[in-house]
Amino acid sequence: MRYYLIFFFFFLMNGLFAQKVSFVVHAPDSVAPNEVFSIEYKINKNASSFDKGELIGLEIVNGPTVSTSSYFINGEMSFEKTFTFYVKANDEGLVILPEASIQVGTDYYRTSMKNIHVKEGYKTPKQSSYQDMWDSFWDVEIDDFPKVIPRDIPSKYSKKRKTYRV
């Protein structure tokens, strides 16, 4: 029995430490001035002491927000930690995101630098959201509603139910 526990522990630790460390930055390539956009730093290990560097030419609107997720796929455990900043660029030109660094155990990892072009007239494709659908639902003219609303629609499921108060 002891050998089974050692064997199981070996494979469990092998699966946890076999995953390579990946630390990347996700940001748009082009934005318009005064447009709020997100910068995401993602790492696939639990890490500490995150440093984004100095964001020159960008104003932080919100952040950092930190989210973590872990899941099993085909028996392998995956982990992801995301640091998200919402920023905006006030002036046109080239904004360079510096290298960000993070510590995993005793090792330090860095992202690569990222260029963001800020130019007038560029519009980021807007992603539809639940709030957009809800707002468009209320943008209906009164004349669009039907004049006669049927009250009694027969249905095979419209049986009267008994209710009891407790």
What is the phi-psi region of residue 49: left when phi exceeds 0, alpha when psi lies from -120 to 50, beta otherwise? Answer: left
pLDDT over 90 percentage in the chain: 42
Who contacts 32 (Cβ-Cβ below 8 Å, separation ≥6)? 118, 119, 120, 121, 122, 123, 124
pTM: 0.63
Fold of the domain built from segment(s) 20-124? Immunoglobulin-like (2.60.40)
Q: Which has the minimum average pLDDT: 1-5, 85-89, 97-101, 108-112?
A: 1-5
Closest to 114 (Cα-Cα) out of 61, 62, 41, 47: 41
Residues 21 and 45 sit within 8 Å (Cβ to Cβ):
yes
Q: Is the pLDDT of residue 137 over 70?
A: no
Q: Using CA atoms, how far apart are residues 87 and 53, in angstroms rounded to an integer?
A: 14
Question: Which pLDDT belongs to residue 153?
Answer: 55
Q: Using CA atoms, how far apart are residues 139 and 142, in angstroms rounded to an integer?
A: 10
Structural domain boundaries in the chain:
20-124
